[in-house]
Amino acid sequence: MSATPPPMPSPPSWKGRLIVGGATLVVFGVACALPAYYLKNGDRWSGGQVLLMGWMGLFLGQLGWFANLLYFPALITLLCRCWKTTVILAGVAFLIGLHSFALALQEIPLDEGGVNKTTVTAIGAAPVVWLASFVVLGGGAWMLRTRN
């Protein structure tokens, strides 16, 4: 009587990770296309413009853009199946990203000399959708963690 060894577990599938990663990137991309801030002078900044210029918010005491610096490592940890790290990075990115709403009614310079200024009169949909990309990433990693 020979004992048969237990079947080898199948290697982890990329399918779930690619679905979550793709979904969060689509949401992030949609946020870049949507209006982010409406200015008193009539201008409107899109999420893509804010993505490119947001690092300068540091000079205004605005730190929300820096959530992006955690988002991309969180995508990498998702692909590496480091579920807890992904959830933590996405959660911290979400919390930092909330600071983007502090620009409401704040006066901001329009040039490097600070001569021309305007005020953010309204916040568009982009910051909300951008934050949703962190929720999709963290929530997806949490669901994949419980599945594996």
pTM score, two decimals?
Answer: 0.85
Residue whose C-alpha is closest to residue 39's, from 53, 28, 29 = 53
Give CA–CA dist 49/100, Å, rounded: 14
Please tell me the number of Cα atoms within 13 Å of 119 on its side-chain side: 6
Above 60 in pLDDT, residue 1?
no
The length of the chain in residues reads 148
Residue whose C-alpha is closest to residue 36's, from 27, 28, 46 = 46
Residue with tokens 């040039």: 111
**Three-point CA angle 80, 82, 83, nearest 5°:** 125
Q: Work out the mean pLDDT of the chain and round it to a whole number.
A: 90
pLDDT attached to residue 75: 96
Q: How much is the average pLDDT of 78-102?
A: 95
Helix (H) or strand (E) holding 20: helix 15-33
pLDDT attached to residue 116: 83
- At 93-136, the pLDDT tens digits run 999 999 999 988 788 887 777 788 888 999 999 999 999 999 99
Residue 111 has phi, psi (to 5 degrees) of -140, 170
- At 49-69, the pLDDT tens digits run 999 999 988 888 889 999 999
Residue with tokens 């946020």: 31
Residue 123 has phi, psi (to 5 degrees) of -105, 130
Is the CA virtual torsion 16, 98, 26, 73 positive or negative?
negative
pLDDT attached to residue 4: 77
